[in-house]
Amino acid sequence: MIGLLASLFEGAAVGGMEPRVAVYRVALFIASLLFLVGLRMLTNPETARRGMQMAVVGMVLGVVGTLVHKDIVNYYWIIGGLVVGTVIGIPMGLLIPMTKMPERIALSHAGGGLAVALVGIAEYYGGHVHGRFAMGAISFEVLMGAITFTGSLMAFGKLAEILPGKPMTFGGQNAANFLLLAGALAGMVVLVLHPGLSAVFYALVGVSLLLGVLLVLPIGGADMPVVICLLNSYAGLAASASGLALDNNVLIICGALDGGSGLILAMIMSKAMNRSFANVLFGAFGSDAAAAAGGAGGKTGSVREGTPEDAAELLKIAQNVIIVPGYGMAVAQAQHATRDLASAVQAAGANVKYAIHPVAGRMPGHMNVLLAEANVPYDQLYELDAINEEFERTDVAIVVGANDVVNPAAKTSPGSPIFGMPILNVDKAKAVIVLKRSMKPGFAGIDNDLFILPQTMMVFGDAKATLGKITAAMKGGGH
Amino acid sequence: MTIDHILAGLYVFSLAAFLGYQIISKVPQLLHTPLMAFTNAISGISVVASILIAGRHSEHLLIPILGAIAVASATINVVGGFVITDRMLKMFKKKEAAK
């Protein structure tokens, strides 16, 4: 294909362009089209895999097309980078467990940010940046790339529980962040006016790296879906800026797609939490102050505790059952146990559906991936709007490690920090079984009125073990 | 860089952003995690810019080194991203698998 293209463009050299440069450009053009078509096919689970394969072809074409570029005189560093990247990338892709997907996504954003920031730094250092527009674009690229790099490392640290998941705050933090951001923007302006001031450029790199750390540290674990999406979007914008500076359209396009998807997902996530970006980024939600304020709204009441056998009795006579998974299911790695219980309930004659809240888990679609891993067919998975009406007609709702997304306080207590957040109407079900490790409140640090409703039965313990016991009781003791 | 170049770049960005918005809004919640892995993998196309930096003639040794690190980081994303997207997409099944 490349050879054919080369011969096609043989004559183009007369027009001022080297044939090998033409091959490079055409290869990248075709790659862009393949990426777009691939993304379009990703909108449907039936065609998604083929869409991905088209993107792989596009990627190979882009890389091969670039390798023949006439400017390349030394292949050692390139091959070294490609080999190292492949040797690390393949096992990472193959071995990482599905429950660790948020960590892996955060790490990959860090890698993407680093790559783009390094491209910007190398271009500047090598004196390849010409003109004010290119300088502005390179500055923006380095700013976004560096923020994405360190910010994603912090997000990874929090998700992997290397860093505390709780918001880490200090006095004057927001003021410090705004000052740093203002400094970085001022630095960009100075660089556009005086591109030769290399000290300003490297200071910009340093400030951006610091900003990434400081912006993510105060954000708590349950807000990670929004943060991951925003970092995704930053990585994309950095790539687009890089494309603008280097006059490389495929970079602009992929950056725009990446940036756009991150932004859309972040919007969906924050809408599902009824919060603005500003609130997520600077609110330090879930800090002690917010928890104290929210706790006041909670009613008091007694909790009805049940055994796995009690839960099984309820499920044996149920007709319609909805399972509501949450982050607790991921933590307990209970997706297979959940599916086993669902099969047992189905075998007993009930209809089982899963209700997936958009912010259940630590990244968009987290629960869907885990349940898919456990072989749950995706036509049993329902989004919030599609299933919320059905809780009224549901005999038993089983809550597996979800908390804030099923808290009725979001509808009833205006004082609650989660008031206004769309929730799954589990409280409307005739009976509710809540699997939970303890009475410890969820991420928002507020009590959950669902747990003290008369129709609610709490079954305490590790979700995986409890699910196993309920399943065993369903299959065992005959009535 | 001429104003034509700049405008052409901005045209491409605007159209891609618009098209991307239209397409991505249609991706169901079911596929949001694969979507993130996928867009992450394709934005690894920045590897082409890294390759040019790592491979072109340069006076300073630092530049190809930076380029090689960038090639490696981007390649991890591309290769790992595609492998993991494929692993996830393979798992999504419509009908219950026969036991």
pLDDT in tens, B10-39: 999 999 999 999 999 999 999 999 999 999
Going from the C-alpha of A411 to that of each of A245, A354, A414, A416, A427, the distances in angstroms are 49, 22, 8, 9, 11
Find the mean pLDDT for residues A100-109. Answer: 91
Residue A101 near chain B (CB below 8 Å)? yes
Inter-chain residue contact B5 with A259, CB threshold 8 Å: no
Q: What confidence tier does B98 reach under pLDDT thresholds 50, 70, 90?
A: very low
Question: Using CB atoms, which residue from B42, B51, B97 is nearest to A254?
Answer: B42
Catalytic residue among A223, A404, A447, A449: A404
Find the mean pLDDT for residues A344-360. Answer: 93
**Which residues of A fall within a CB distance of 8 Å from B98?**
none
Q: What confidence tier does B67 reach under pLDDT thresholds 50, 70, 90?
A: very high
pLDDT in tens, A112-139: 999 999 999 999 998 888 889 999 999 9
Mean pLDDT, all residues of chain B: 90
Instruction: Look at residue A157 and tell me whether its pLDDT is greater than 50.
Output: yes
Question: Using CB atoms, which residue from B28, B33, B57 is nearest to A366?
Answer: B33
Query: What integer pLDDT is reported at residue A291 of this predicted model?
Result: 39
Distance from CA of A378 to the nearest CA of B (A): 5
- Coarse DSSP helix, strand, coil percentages of chain A, rounded to the nearest 5 percent: 65, 5, 30
Which of the 8 DSSP states describes residue A453? S
Inter-chain residue contact B70 with A114, CB threshold 8 Å: yes
**Which residues of B fall within a CB distance of 8 Å from A260?**
17, 20-21, 24
Q: Which residue has the higher pLDDT, A9 or A268?
A: A268
**Which residues of B fall within a CB distance of 8 Å from A43?**
23, 26-28, 31
Distance from CA of A138 to the nearest CA of B (A): 13
Q: What confidence tier does A442 reach under pLDDT thresholds 50, 70, 90?
A: low
Angle, CA of A123, A124 and A127, to the nearest 5°: 85
In the sheet with A431-436, reading across from the earlier edge strand, the strands are A381-383, A351-356, A320-325, A396-400, A431-436, A456-460
Query: What integer pLDDT is reported at residue A7 of this predicted model?
Result: 59
Question: Is this complex's ipTM strictly greater than 0.90?
Answer: yes
Does the annotation count A71 as an active-site position?
no
Residue A258 near chain B (CB below 8 Å)? yes
Going from the C-alpha of A184 to that of each of A142, A203, A259, A348, the distances in angstroms are 11, 8, 21, 63
Residue A28 neighbours by CB under 8 Å, 6+ apart: A62, A65, A66, A248, A249, A250, B48
Say how many CB pairs under 8 Å bridge A and B. Answer: 369
Query: What integer pLDDT is reported at residue A290 of this predicted model?
Result: 40
Write phi, then psi, for A322 (nearest 5 degrees). -120, 130
- Closest among B47, B77, B78 to A109, alpha carbons compared: B77
Instruction: Look at residue A370 and tell me whether its pLDDT is greater than 90.
Output: yes
Work out the percent of chain A whose per-residue pLDDT is above 70. Answer: 90
Work out the percent of chain B whose per-residue pLDDT is above 90. Answer: 77
Gap between the Cα atoms of A2 and A71, Å rounded? 17
Find the mean pLDDT for residues A81-99. Answer: 93
Inter-chain residue contact A85 with B72, CB threshold 8 Å: yes
Nearest CA in chain B to A77: B68
Residue A191 neighbours by CB under 8 Å, 6+ apart: A135, A136, A139, A197, A200, A201, A204
Q: What confidence tier does A452 reach under pLDDT thresholds 50, 70, 90?
A: confident
Query: What integer pLDDT is reported at residue A475 of this predicted model?
Result: 84
- Closest among B50, B48, B41 to B78, alpha carbons compared: B41
pLDDT in tens, A255-311: 999 999 998 998 888 888 887 777 776 655 444 334 333 333 444 567 888 899 999
Write phi, then psi, for A417 (nearest 5 degrees). -65, -20
Instruction: Look at residue A416 and tell me whether its pLDDT is greater than 90.
Output: no
Query: What integer pLDDT is reported at residue A403 of this predicted model?
Result: 86
The residue of B33, B57, B60, B85 whose CB has the most chain A CBs within 10 angstroms, and thus the best one to mutate to test that interface, is B33
What pTM was estimated for this model as a whole? Answer: 0.87
**Which residues of A fall within a CB distance of 8 Å from B57?**
71, 73-74
Query: What integer pLDDT is reported at residue B14 of this predicted model?
Result: 94
Q: Structure tokens of A434?
A: 């809540």
Distance from CA of B95 to the nearest CA of A (A): 5
Work out the percent of chain B whose per-residue pLDDT is above 70. Answer: 95
Instruction: Look at residue B96 and tell me whether its pLDDT is greater than 60.
Output: no
Residue B82 neighbours by CB under 8 Å, 6+ apart: A52, A55, A56, A59, A93, B41
Inter-chain residue contact B21 with A43, CB threshold 8 Å: no
Inter-chain residue contact A265 with B32, CB threshold 8 Å: yes
